């Protein structure tokens, strides 16, 4: 067993994440629920070093991208850290994406290696060829595949490739309001600064044990959860998927849970919640608005006020309710230390007084470095003074708590996943016989919002919900596919000819849920 190489002195992110664990490498890092097995920091990072050496042997050079669309597993998490250690840029993809969607990301990001789910190897071989990616590796849910074979050929001891604070660590794609997904480039410094801030603000320490039930292809599960655990030298109970019984089972051995509001809503229905949560220290929610009602029911049931925070792929976490002090339901708290958050006049970018609603804008080391190969799009979303325009609308209340009151971007958040209507509308509009369409989010008790499409059919053509859904099924990830398609004669427009989505939302919220 080697204890000497875990300093990764010249790799900005890994050095910062592992520094506090150096004297305690035999401590548990992960309890894998899949195998009921505890894995120490030493064991995990020995594996990371082996995998990193395999990536280098395959030809990875500093700055090369490594894309992964793999089921959640401890081995998939190793791939994230091994990519960083190898000096590469990690590019995780939602497991729900179709081949067509994957081809776009591979073509745009040009990774040297793409790791896919072993179960999808055939279709992804075609995707890899179509996008010119050099190596296709596989990884299954139970950790098997060509990636693991390549790793097992190597020995631990690889000390890592030099990467500085401004080098890129990851690219995470966010769907775009114009329909084309944009790759948010995240530097080592942005990830280090946010992990440091969150660990301190949320009082993470060695004694913590986090229940990790989030996907690891988004900021929430990949960076907020994992990096906080690593940086505080604590440990996590790693579940391969969200499942109410699994969380309740592990809660008595845990201290922290991070989740999207749907987690909390579903957990509230479990009869053992109150008993299981007794030893918990902290419940954190984010990615979508937590209903005041859920906050209050949780408090009544468990005695804990859920701590709600607010972030974005482009910015990491921006605000949080306080650790000590009132966690105010329906708000996302205060700007985190070192981060400037203002509510601005959307036209001028000037700060507006408390109580007034405006554009939420952010500045800090936590910000991304721009969109991959899209300098114009990047420029559009920054003010001249460097503030990033989030596209969210909010107001500060009298006590300085930030309330998110809406979005200036046309976005649906369903179960914590972002869905851009434009992407779906463009596909529906291409279906033969469709005159036009509008995609909106309607209230949904479990997911917060659910996608529905309202479609106008050309005269003389016959189309129904089933034919439209069938036409979308191969093109769109399942979570983006409309739950309902309503056929209508015309869409409401304002005097400028713009479709009135607010009117549609009011109309269909009433029709569907009254």
Binding site for ligand MCA (CB under 6 A): 214-215, 218-221, 241-242, 260, 262, 286-287, 311-313, 414-417, 447, 478-479
Q: Does 308 sit near ligand AMP (CB under 6 A)?
A: yes
For ligand AMP, the nearest residue by Cβ is 313
Contacts of 210 (CB under 8 A, 6+ apart): 225, 228, 229, 234, 235, 236, 237, 254, 255, 256, 257, 258
Least distance in Å: CB of 266 to ligand AMP?
17
Q: What are the E-state strand segments in 290-401?
A: 307-312, 316-320, 334-335, 340-344, 358-363, 388-396
Residue (of 127, 139, 165) closest to 69 by Cα position: 139
Residue (of 110, 119, 67, 113) closest to 90 by Cα position: 67
Residue (of 190, 168, 1) closest to 87 by Cα position: 168
CB contact at 8 A, 473 and 481: yes
Q: Does 312 sit near ligand AMP (CB under 6 A)?
A: yes
Cα(111)–Cα(92) distance, integer angstroms = 11
Q: Does 361 sit near ligand AMP (CB under 6 A)?
A: no
Q: Which is nearer to ligand AMP, 142 or 323 (CB)?
A: 323
Q: Which is nearer to ligand AMP, 31 or 283 (CB)?
A: 283
CB contact at 8 A, 391 and 418: no
Q: Does 286 sit near ligand AMP (CB under 6 A)?
A: yes
Q: Look at residue 188 and give its three-state secondary structure.
A: helix
Q: Which is nearer to ligand MCA, 71 or 415 (CB)?
A: 415
Least distance in Å: CB of 259 to ligand AMP?
11
Pair of tokens at residue 59: 């030809």
Residue (of 298, 237, 289, 242) closest to 265 by Cα position: 298
Least distance in Å: CB of 411 to ligand AMP?
6
Quick one: what does residue 55 bind among ligand AMP, ligand MCA, none, with the CB cut-off 5 to 8 Å set by partner type?
A: none
Q: Does 448 sit near ligand AMP (CB under 6 A)?
A: no
Q: Does 287 sit near ligand AMP (CB under 6 A)?
A: yes
Q: Does 455 sit near ligand AMP (CB under 6 A)?
A: no
Quick one: what does residue 332 bind among ligand MCA, ligand AMP, none, with the CB cut-off 5 to 8 Å set by partner type?
A: ligand AMP
Query: Given candidates 200, 297, 418, 488, which one binds ligand AMP under the rule CB under 6 A?
Result: 418
Q: Which is nearer to ligand MCA, 130 or 477 (CB)?
A: 477
Quick one: what does residue 370 bind among ligand MCA, ligand AMP, none, with the CB cut-off 5 to 8 Å set by partner type?
A: none
- Beta partners for 259? 285
**172 to 191, contacts with ligand AMP by CB under 6 A?**
174
Q: Which is nearer to ligand MCA, 109 or 260 (CB)?
A: 260
C-beta atoms surrounding 483 within 10 Å: 14
Q: Which is nearer to ligand MCA, 215 or 364 (CB)?
A: 215
Q: Does 288 sit near ligand AMP (CB under 6 A)?
A: yes
Q: Does 313 sit near ligand AMP (CB under 6 A)?
A: yes
Q: Does 343 sit near ligand AMP (CB under 6 A)?
A: no
Q: Which is nearer to ligand MCA, 156 or 221 (CB)?
A: 221
Q: Does 294 sit near ligand AMP (CB under 6 A)?
A: no
DSSP 324-354: SS---TT---EEPTT-EEEEE-TTT--B--T
Q: Does 485 sit near ligand AMP (CB under 6 A)?
A: no
Quick one: what does residue 390 bind among ligand MCA, ligand AMP, none, with the CB cut-off 5 to 8 Å set by partner type?
A: ligand AMP
Quick one: what does residue 392 bind among ligand MCA, ligand AMP, none, with the CB cut-off 5 to 8 Å set by partner type?
A: ligand AMP
Query: Measured between alpha carbons, how far is residue 240 from residues 140, 143, 225, 415 in Å?
Result: 12, 12, 14, 17
Cα(201)–Cα(478) distance, integer angstroms = 36
- Beta partners for 114? 67, 136
**205 to 224, contacts with ligand AMP by CB under 6 A?**
219
Which uninterrupted H or E stretch holds 42?
A: helix 41-57
Q: Which stretch binds ligand AMP (CB under 6 A): 23-31, 195-203, 287-295, 460-468?
A: 287-295
Cα(170)–Cα(90) distance, integer angstroms = 4
- Beta partners for 209? 235
Q: Does 146 sit near ligand AMP (CB under 6 A)?
A: no
Q: Which is nearer to ligand AMP, 174 or 235 (CB)?
A: 174
Question: How large is the angle between the packed helices 41-57 and 74-85, nearest 10 degrees?
Answer: 60
Q: Which is nearer to ligand AMP, 158 or 242 (CB)?
A: 242
The distance of Cα 324 from the centroid of its chain, to the nearest Å, equals 26
Residue (of 382, 339, 342) closest to 361 by Cα position: 342
Q: Which is nearer to ligand MCA, 163 or 220 (CB)?
A: 220
Least distance in Å: CB of 329 to ligand MCA?
18
Least distance in Å: CB of 244 to ligand MCA?
9
CB contact at 8 A, 257 and 250: no
Q: Which is nearer to ligand AMP, 234 or 316 (CB)?
A: 316
For ligand MCA, the nearest residue by Cβ is 415
Query: Given candidates 202, 310, 372, 388, which one binds ligand AMP under the rule CB under 6 A?
Result: 310
Q: Look at residue 134 and give its three-state secondary structure.
A: coil
**Where do contacts with ligand AMP occur on this chain (CB under 6 A)?**
174, 219, 286-289, 308, 310-313, 332, 390, 392, 404, 407, 413, 418
């Amino acid at each position: 067993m080697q204890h000497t190489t875990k300093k990764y002195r010249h790799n900005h992110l890994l050095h910062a994440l592992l520094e506090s664990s150096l004297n305690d490498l035999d401590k548990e890092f992960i309890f894998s629920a899949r195998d009921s097995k505890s894995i120490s920091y030493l064991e995990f990072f020995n594996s990371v070093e082996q995998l990193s050496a395999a990536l280098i042997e395959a030809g990875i050079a500093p700055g090369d991208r490594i894309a992964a669309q793999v089921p959640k597993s401890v081995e998939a998490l190793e791939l994230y850290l091994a990519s960083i250690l190898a000096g590469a840029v990690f590019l995780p993809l939602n497991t729900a994406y179709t081949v067509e969607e994957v081809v776009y990301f591979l073509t745009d990001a040009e990774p040297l290696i793409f790791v896919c789910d072993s179960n999808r190897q055939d279709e992804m071989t075609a995707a890899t060829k179509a996008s010119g990616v050099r190596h296709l590796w596989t990884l299954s849910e139970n950790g098997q595949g060509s990636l693991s074979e390549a790793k097992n050929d190597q020995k631990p001891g690889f000390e890592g490739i030099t990467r500085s604070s401004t080098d890129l660590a990851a690219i995470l794609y966010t769907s775009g309001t114009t329909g084309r997904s944009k790759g948010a480039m995240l530097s080592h410094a942005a990830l280090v600064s946010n992990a440091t801030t969150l660990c301190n603000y949320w009082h993470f320490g060695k004694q913590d044990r986090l229940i990790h039930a989030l996907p690891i292809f988004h900021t929430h599960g990949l960076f907020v959860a994992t990096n906080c655990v690593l940086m505080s030298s604590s440990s996590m109970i790693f579940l391969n998927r969200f499942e109410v019984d699994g969380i309740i089972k592990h809660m008595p051995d845990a201290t922290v849970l991070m989740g999207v509001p749907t987690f909390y809503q579903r957990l509230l229905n479990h009869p053992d919640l109150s008993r299981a949560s007794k030893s918990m220290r902290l419940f954190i929610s984010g990615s979508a608005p937590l209903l005041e009602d859920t906050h209050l029911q949780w408090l009544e049931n468990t005695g804990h006020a859920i701590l709600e925070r607010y972030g974005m792929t482009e910015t990491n976490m921006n605000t949080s309710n306080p650790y000590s002090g009132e966690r105010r339901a329906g708000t996302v708290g205060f700007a985190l230390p070192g981060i400037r958050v203002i509510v601005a006049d959307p036209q001028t970018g000037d700060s507006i007084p408390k109580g007034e609603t405006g554009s939420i804008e952010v500045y800090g080391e936590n910000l991304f470095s721009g969109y991959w190969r899209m300098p114009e799009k990047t420029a559009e979303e920054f003010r001249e003074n460097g503030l990033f325009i989030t596209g969210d609308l909010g107001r500060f209340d009298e006590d300085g708590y930030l309330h998110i009151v809406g979005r200036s971007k046309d976005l649906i958040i369903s179960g914590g996943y972002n869905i851009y209507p434009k992407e779906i509308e463009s596909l529906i509009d291409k279906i033969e016989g469709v005159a036009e369409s509008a995609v909106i989010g309607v209230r949904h008790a479990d997911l917060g919002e659910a996608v529905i499409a309202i479609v106008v059919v050309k005269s003389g053509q016959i189309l129904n919900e089933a034919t439209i859904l069938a036409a979308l099924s191969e093109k769109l990830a399942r979570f983006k596919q409309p739950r309902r398609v309503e056929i209508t004669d015309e869409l409401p427009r304002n005097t400028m000819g713009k479709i009135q989505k607010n009117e549609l939302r009011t109309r269909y919220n009433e029709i569907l849920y009254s």
